[in-house]
Structure 1
Amino acid sequence: MKKLITGISAILVLVVLLFGTQRYLASQTGTGESSDKVLNLYNWGDYLDPDLITKFTKETGYKVSYETFDSNEAMYTKIKQGGTSYDLTVPSDYMIKKMKRENLLLPLDHSKLTGINNYDTRFMNQTFDKNNKYSLPYFWGTLGIIYNDKYVKPQDVQHWDDLWAPKFKNQIMLVDSARDALAMALITQNKSVNDKSTADLAAAQAKLTTLMPNIKAIIADEIKMYMAQNEAAIAVTYSGEASQAMGNNSHLHYVVPSEGSNLWFDNIVMPKTAKHKAAAYAFLNFMSEPKNAAQNATYVGYATPNKRAMPFLSEAVRHDKQFYPDKKTLDNLQVYDDLGQRWTEKYNDAFLEFKMSQR
């Protein structure tokens, strides 16, 4: 789930950290509970079927204390600060690399993982975690374009540059993410989404600013709701958000531009401060079971990396190339690298300046 905070949204992170916003789905046991029969899970909001938590508890006896975050940065900050011992969390690709470098993760004992062979090898051994020493795949997806065929012809929105057409004035909703918005602009200029050139970033910002007349709103999770309600003709967002919106509106369609986009991964990791390792391995194995992986993918709407789960998905889903792209498309996608603090700030500043130009 690619949600990178900007300077403004950092305030929201501080609020969350100060007031400890939590949501428990399956237990009244607080995080840090000393009992061995608890799992402290820190995950994105609405990123796990609640029925699977109930099933996991019934099968294993482990109660689940479930707390949520809304950005990789919020999750990272809370784990780095310590004080709360989470057994598992679900960072994105670039954040796994960062947490690994800062010694915040425990290596996984592969001898305790019973379902590791269920995963598609295409999603294993990624550059951010070679040999899956610290992580197991959870979901993966793409950045793309949703359009409503009531207002837009399919041939008019197949590429990123199409979004700059004057006819789309005030008709586009853009995901509130520095990396994603600038990646879109960088790709139109044949640059890497991990570009570290001051000139290239300035050019991408300038290109993005010229899109502002077409921007109706810059928002996050609400995109899927607004698109389902016909509030906009076009949106730039993630494949899972698109899937959920499309499930509520038959006029919506999702496109991954052929010139390239972002391919992202969310993986499960074990923080260094984990106290309930047996429970953590039980959950990793539970979620690796094909039927459970398929059930979670159906609920959440994102693509599962579990190849043996595919037969348990509906035929329409598993053959949908926008959500399960073929190799040719995958080869043209780019994974975000950890840019480091200096360049992350540069991207965030460029995006903030773009947002300030909004009408």
Structure 2
Amino acid sequence: MLDWCGGATRARVMVSYRRQILCDAANCASQTSLSNIVYGMIDMVALSIMELRHLRYFVQVADDLHFARAAAHLGISQPPLSQQIRALEDELQVRLLERTSRRVALTPAGRLFLDAARATLREADNAISVARRAARGELGELAIGFSASAPFVPEIAHAISNFRDRYPQISLVLREIAGSDHLEQIEDHLLDIGFRRGRAIPDLPDTVIAEPFLSERLYVACPPGHRLARQAGVRVADLVDEPIVLYANERSTFTSHLLDLLREGGVEPRIAQIVTDVTSLFGLAAAGIGVMVMVESLCTLQSPMLTYRLIEDDAATIMLWLVRHRDPTLPCRNFLALLDSPGRNP
């Protein structure tokens, strides 16, 4: 775990591994105890704060075993590098390098410290990467709620597919949710975005907004031999006394809209069957149990056992609303950018 201090990049590594004091190495080198080195990483709890650059400098010198070459690789001059390594040794109270006029070598303590320093730098680099990616909305979770037919809307399907390709590290949670459950879960931050159908904008909590996303025409689905299949178009009045298969659950906004549409057109619905999944809806309509009224996007589900006819009444439309929190997360904003992109697939 990293503790970032002030303007400089500094690290306190929280000891999460089993402490293994490397006193043997210190004894072999006849040096001060290395109780400040923990197996695998650096323990800075007992030290004043150590800057990561000290570790980077030491690792480069240990790789090159030559101060001039290490300084060139680091882009600094040799005297400051020597001073920083000496400061690190003074901080640890441990000699890490043996220096002569002809060679530089790691002490036994230095070899052990090198492994721990590399592990610490890897953890620090990973923490920096995670923070930056999270700030760009590339990590985290995106939860989308939708009505049963919403995934068949091409714009939504393409946006979900493109989002998964572009942000593979985001956990994408997709849930089928009916009615006002969208609003409650968005308000409680259990959902980021919801797609729900309705004739008018729903009553919203103060923290939630709804935008009209797509107005869709309604169609009738029936077997090819059905009387309505022989018509070029269908009016609501043509559904008088016609058995209807409904998709419904206790909070379905689409079904309540459909029943209102029928009654406003002078048709008292004759409900043959109520189902709770789209597959059963199509299957029963194909079997002739009753006709099905559906949104245009579901016409992409083609079957030789069904014929689709447009309901020509002006009122035979329904709005698909995009519902979201007023203060969206970064993953949510990234998804909305893909959804609104002019270059998305039609």
TM-score normalised over the length of structure 1:
0.46
Higher normalized helix content (fraction of residues): 1
Q: Pick the structure with more strand per residue.
A: 2
Structure number with greater Rg is: 2
Relative to the length of structure 2, the TM-score reads: 0.47
Q: Which has the higher contact order (CA 8 A, sep 6+)?
A: 1
